[in-house]
Amino acid sequence: MASEGTRTIGVAQLGCGYWGPNLLRNLIQEPRADVRWVAEPAETRRAYVGRTYPGTPLTADWKEALADPSVQAVVIATPASTHFDLAHAALEAGKHVLVEKPLATSVGEVETLRASAESRSRVLMVGHTFLFSPAVRMTRALLDKGELGDLYYMYSQRLNLGQVRADVNVWWNLAPHDVSIFLHLAKGTLPAEVAVRGVDYLQPGVEDVVFATLRWPDRLMANLHASWLDPGRVRRLTLVGSRKMLVYDDVEDSKIAIVDKGVDRVPRLGDRMDYDRPPVHRLQQRMGDIVLPKVDNAEPLAQEIAHFLDCIESGARPLTDARHARDVVAVLEAGAHSLKRGGAFVPVSSD
């Protein structure tokens, strides 16, 4: 699109298929972004962009967009199998890069991209959009303040009927969202091991439902259920802490419920009516209030785009930088090996 006075960063978007239109809409609406190119091989998708955003330069060849010296940043929204090659080419061309999740399909590829970005002082960021959700940010803040006490375990459900993919299974398609949230809420610590079981009901060799367990060395545990084959649309995360519990439901208007429920250890009185047996306790259920805090309704993807541009302008480290991307891919890669081994626990690669 034509540059405006406030639009200071030239951006090219590669890919405008399923998720690409959402990214493009937010780029168009972001005052600092000047969309110089949309590269999309499918003629029907280029026609869509031309109708929706007249005047946007279009090309079927992504190399044409990377060759433009006015392009400072590249946003990649193509199939996961192409992420590494496109991101590497963009970094080699000296561009800042935002890649839709996952950043790549192996830890080795992520490390190559990280080295390329660092050697050129370029911003490399992955689009784990839910980390920019006000609800997830509030959840992390509550954990940091100790509102929930010690985090015991958490579990997520990301279910729907469709969008069935043929290029990746549901583990690589949907699980990155919840894995990124788990790692963020675990304050960046990696699980020691992961076990994943799945079944390919619809397409041979492409699991459409998975159940996963992540285990940390400090006894924190997380379970994940992802499916394209479910009767209802569910996006729910539950956290159980030593003081309180929390339910984050992305489908509901009230995104967060803080539940003052739990089990307390109460000293048991001894025969002399004093606490003469301190190690002995009885367990007593606690049923307190449910609080529904007000959560900002800002669009996470808009926050993600703004953060990417902020990092380009300031040189700050992105929230979802290559290190975070590497950890997510390490869990996904271990999970993929577990799937092939029938659900056996597989160690998660660390630095």
- Give the sign of the dihedral formed by CA 183, CA 23, CA 333, CA 206: positive
CA atoms within 13 A on the CB side of 97: 35
Q: What is the pLDDT, as a whole number, of residue 6?
A: 64
CA dist 297 and 158 (Å) reads 20
Q: What does the pLDDT average to over 114-131?
A: 98
Domain ranges of the chain: 9-128+300-330, 131-298
Q: What does the pLDDT average to over 280-305?
A: 84
pLDDT exceeds cutoff 90 at 160? yes
Q: What is the pLDDT, as a whole number, of residue 2?
A: 41
Fold of 131-298: Dihydrodipicolinate Reductase; domain 2 (3.30.360)
Query: pLDDT tens for residues 199-251?
Result: 999 999 999 999 999 999 999 999 999 999 999 999 999 999 999 999 999 99
pLDDT exceeds cutoff 60 at 270? no
Judge: domain 9-128+300-330, CATH 3.40.50.20: no
Q: What does the pLDDT average to over 113-140?
A: 98
- Secondary structure class of 256 (helix, strand, coil): strand
Q: What is the pLDDT, as a whole number, of residue 3?
A: 43
CA dist 253 and 175 (Å) reads 23
CA dist 135 and 158 (Å) reads 16
User: How many CB atoms are located within 10 Å of the residue 153 CB?
Assistant: 16
Task: State the average pLDDT for the chain.
Answer: 93
Q: What does the pLDDT average to over 44-61?
A: 96
Q: What is the pLDDT, as a whole number, of residue 188?
A: 86
Structure letter (DSSP) for residue 91: H
Q: Which residue has the tokens 């509030």?
A: 138
Q: What long-range pairs does 70-73 form, CB within 8 A, spacing at least 24?
A: 70/10, 70/36, 71/10, 71/11, 71/12, 71/36, 71/37, 71/95, 72/9, 72/10, 72/11, 72/96, 72/312, 73/9, 73/10, 73/11, 73/12, 73/97, 73/98, 73/123, 73/308, 73/309, 73/312
- Of 57, 69, 55, the closest CA to residue 13 belongs to 57
